[in-house]
A and B are shown apart, each in its own frame.
Chain A
């Protein structure tokens, strides 16, 4: 890069430049490889966005999207039929006694089964005549339904009904949004004050020895896997708080909020503590010298000075809670109810992705909607991080450098 390759050792006059640095291929390669590996972490951010967003594209591109969807639905339309309506007791009969197709209607006739229910059977072991007729009828029906559904998808986004798997699928994101916000607010109301106050104690009041004990212990909470916290909430907290408050649904937004607060506390605590510790000593000394007591200094000088950092900590806490999946899956009840009552079950964005992704089929509307939710979550957490970073940097620098 900045090595002057044109000034090779051959030149007889040694300028200062040529003595400074020589071109070495291994050095050059090492630097290039290392910086390109570093570049990959930037690339990953883009890749994540591109690939999560790409899968949700069919929603935006209605024409090609609906084609894909119909293709997918043709495949899927057959599957659920066979699985869904063909009852297990009927199958063995037809296999065992009458393998021939013409006889089938008789066997079933006695049990008064309608034609519709027969079709799935024919999928399995009848001659091709039947197959060619019945599934095509079926699929055209489903396709038309699905196209309507695809057109409706956008309009259903702003409703509150989340019924992704039905003949008339509705993808009301509003209900999920309200659920997510409810849990986030509850979690932050608990985690925010607790973590910030604890950070204030650690950085302003605790002696050095106490500090060295407290800090690692609270940070140890970050090492608790979220599935463990979720499990604890599900098994212990849920029953305990139901006994205390006596509400109906055992798993609800409140339980989820408490559990998520546990996950958010170490993040908020660590970052706030850093922010509080970064407040210049001169602030504290000036305040104490003016006769303010220790607590006055802490609450009225140090805390305000560290506000940007604490704000960033809270934002990152929100980001953590907003995207938390396992706790939401296990402790919130997973029912998309819309109400202001904190003791009702809720369903969050992340939990919806986590619980439904495994059951969707590649290319379906439902699949795309889940990826769309994913890209929303990604954009949200990206924005939170960006705001936290730039707001804090700008504010803190201005404040402490007196610009």
Chain B
């Protein structure tokens, strides 16, 4: 800076600008570095899992039962268990989430305190740790509803008052509810006002408008929400730790009151509580690969559908 003082005004400004520019480059560089680092980590994780998992990954691996004390064989029951879980979960969560989103966009007044409370609850549901949902499932579904159902329906015989696939799915549906509500709400907001007004002007009532105009228009939004929810539900483990996931089952679940195996839980069990962690390493990586393919591909589909909705709205 000392040399700068002797220079003419013009030069003074330009050289100050130079200092500022190098500083600027440095700061911009830091932010760039952060982006690159995050993306690099993401691809490193992906790469390592794909690389380590590819040896074991095959159709046979997906379609066969674990054998020899889970040290060999495939992951078929875990995959099926995960499918049943997300299907039951969607059946419970999608109508629920869609209706709540309908309320928030179609019925709630702009300054409605009630709608604000609903919104706040939905956001809270989204940030409550997943393990709390597990506790809730245990306390509410299993020990309150399940045990109650047993005393009323089964003369106290234990059938519903224990961890099973139904309670796990319902617990999971609570967890994924915010995902669905947010996506459907976003889709509903992109439906132009004119469509509603046109329908109402033609004499349709509000409910008719919703049923005949709004809902058909928001199908893709509901789909996005469902897909994202399924992707989330397939990957979460904490809520099902003690609401229904089983270590190992020789048969597929036959009814909703059975326990089930689950991909994520399988990974957790195999990597922390297996008898021989080293030996089953390829199985673990392959299972992780399957789970990752499942969740990521679902997510990509959802992102594509969502982008299409947004483009349409423009």
Contacts and interface: CB of A to CB of B under 8 A. Distances in A.
B121 A45 contact: yes
Contacts of B30: 197
Nearest to B142: A362
Interface residues of B, number: 88
B237 A227 contact: yes
A377 interface: yes
Contact of B129 (A33, A269, A322): A322
A54 to B, nearest CB: 7
A241 interface: no
Contact of A294 (B24, B125, B205, B207): B24
B125 A41 contact: yes
A161 to B, nearest CB: 23
Contacts of B144: 51
Would you call the interface of chain A mostly helix, strand, loop, or mixed? helix
B235 A228 contact: yes
Interface string A158-169: 000000000000
B207 A27 contact: yes
A262 B241 contact: no
Contact of A374 (B34, B123, B135): B135
Given A221-B42, A323-B131, A34 B284 contact: no
B71 interface: no
Contact of A226 (B37, B38, B237, B242): B237
Contact of B288 (A41, A231, A299, A325): A231
Contacts, number: 263
B143 to A, nearest CB: 7
Nearest to B285: A235
Contact of A48 (B136, B284, B299): B136
B122 A41 contact: yes
A139 interface: no
A44 interface: yes
B28 A201 contact: yes
20 contacts: A27-B206, A31-B107, A34-B102, A34-B103, A39-B114, A48-B128, A193-B34, A195-B38, A198-B35, A198-B38, A201-B31, A223-B299, A224-B235, A235-B285, A265-B38, A293-B20, A326-B238, A329-B272, A353-B131, A374-B131
Interface of B: 17, 20-21, 23-24, 27-28, 30-35, 37-39, 41-42, 45, 48-49, 96, 99-100, 102-104, 106-108, 114-115, 117-118, 120-125, 127-136, 138-140, 143-144, 174, 177, 181, 205-207, 210, 231, 234-238, 241-242, 264-265, 267-268, 271-272, 281, 284-285, 288, 291-292, 295-296, 298-300, 303
Interface of A: 24, 26-27, 30-31, 33-35, 37-42, 44-45, 47-48, 51-52, 54-55, 193-195, 197-198, 200-202, 204-205, 214, 216-218, 220-221, 223-232, 234-236, 262, 265, 269, 293-296, 298-299, 316, 319-320, 322-326, 329-330, 350, 353-354, 357-358, 362, 370-371, 374, 377-378, 381-382, 384-386, 389
